[in-house]
A and B are shown apart, each in its own frame.
Chain A
Amino acid sequence: MGDVCKAARGIMVEQGKMPPSAHEFALQDMMFSNSDKVTLARHQPGTNASAYLFFPGCQLSGSSPEHVMKTYAYLSDRLQGGVGLMLRCCGAPAEWAGREETVSQLVDEFRAQWSQMGSPQLILACSSCYAFFKAHLPEAELMSLWEVIDREGLPSAVAKPQLPLVAIHDPCTSRHETRIQESVRRIVGKLGYETEELPLSRDKTECCGFGGLMFFANRELAEKVIRRRIAETPADLLAYCAVCRDHFSSRGKPTWHLLDLIFGDAVSRNLIGRPIDYSLRREKRVRLKNLCLREVWCEDRVESEAYHIHLSVSEKVRGLMEQRMILDEDLQQVIQWAERTGNKLVNQETGHSLAHYRPGAVTYWVEYSGEEGGFTIHNAYSHRMELLEELKP
């Protein structure tokens, strides 16, 4: 069925029939992950060749970059011959969106960089990256991070988080990867956790609502898929895909990432019941690159998002922003425009300002208060329909 949908999407894109609202947000996020602010490709410090290349993927980098750092340190310590690091997005969102031309372009870019590094064996933390490279880079030798950890052994001195029974959730893109599923179960077994198999797991596992960009193209269906999956067990879930963890966790289900258990910290604990913050995910990717350059390669280069406008956003509004796919950057652009031009409305009762701006294909509306330097966001909404407004000076 997935193949049929993918083929249909390809045809829709080719014929110019794909609605822009379906995948645009995810594709822009992918472009961001492949921009200079985020990408990095280096040999291990002190080496000029890589036998391996760790590719954590854009979602783990945006969700828990601390896990990327710890995993890279572990791999560099355990493996001989040099472990390179590459930060970027594999291109899976373009494939899911039916953008074949973009896929070819991204694969070519990746292949050029990877060949330049000596075509090292790829170590992948994300099963979507694994599936993508398996399909588009047949000449590469692929290994899941879980197979490597299973083979090389757990990091020493792990203080395990105390958890009762955990139910293993296999990501949908690992459905046909029996070796990966086995490695995960062996690792959990070595860690000593009591596990439960969900009624639908392994080759029959269910999606977390992200696969095929469902979350962006059909939110209602994705919410249903998430809620159905988390209701399948009263036990905590154990995921080995950052998006699966984030989707379940954000809907209040205690969900752990396998790296939480392996490295003995519980990064996931802070994510339970919190909305998915897409702006923060972007910022974390930028910070990860800077952190790697500073701490791993000892380069004092700091690149960060130029956030001149400080926003104060409550959890409630953050939830709305997640639902409506609005980034901090979108709000900042609106406020910057409104404060510069004076084009805004003012509420006679609350004194709040309401402004709108269309930086691209979407018009964003922001209700805010405050002044230069710091603004409190009270509401944010958007529409794609263009308002043909004629403003007089």
Chain B
Amino acid sequence: MSRQPDFEDASDWKCAKCAVPLEMHEVEVAYMGSKYPVALPRCPRCGIVFIPEQLAVGKMAEIERLLEDK
């Protein structure tokens, strides 16, 4: 998860509340007792994060499976 995924569609989205574009920022994700830092697009003001579909159903799902099979 440390490798930065492809976020080309992140620039299409902005925070609805703060009306500002998202910026890459390190955020923690956790599963089955393990925590990992990952760089994700995030609103610099309120902190809302964007996880694109391809990341959720691709790399994240793959890591979930690996952790479950451990």
Contacts and interface: CB of A to CB of B under 8 A. Distances in A.
A343 B48 contact: yes
B interface, over-half SS: mixed
B13 A19 contact: no
Nearest to B30: A386
A356 interface: yes
Contact of A347 (B13, B32, B47): B13
A354 B52 CA distance: 10
Given A365-B56, A382-B56, A346 B30 contact: no
A314 interface: no
A97 to B, nearest CB: 14
Given A365-B56, A385-B30, A391 B69 contact: no
Interface in B5-23: 12-17, 22
Nearest to A19: B68
Interface string A350-363: 00011010000000
Interface residues of B, number: 31
Interface string B1-44: 00000000000111111000010000111111001000000000
Contacts of A345: 13-16, 22, 48, 50
A388 interface: yes
Nearest to B37: A388
A388 B49 CA distance: 10
Contacts of B17: 342-344
A372 B25 CA distance: 33
B42 to A, nearest CB: 8
A324 interface: yes
A267 B15 CA distance: 46
Interface string B41-70: 000011111110100110011011100110
B3 to A, nearest CB: 15
Contacts of B56: 365, 381-383
A392 interface: yes
A357 to B, nearest CB: 12
A324 B58 CA distance: 12
Given A21-B68, A356-B51, A383-B64, A388 B46 contact: no
Contacts of B69: 19
A134 interface: no
Given A345-B22, A384-B64, A389-B49, 18 more contacts: A19-B32, A20-B68, A21-B65, A324-B57, A343-B17, A343-B46, A345-B15, A354-B50, A379-B53, A382-B56, A383-B51, A383-B56, A388-B28, A388-B29, A391-B47, A391-B48, A392-B45, A393-B46
8 contacts: A345-B50, A346-B13, A348-B14, A365-B51, A383-B51, A383-B64, A384-B64, A387-B27
Interface of B: 12-17, 22, 27-32, 35, 45-51, 53, 56-57, 60-61, 63-65, 68-69
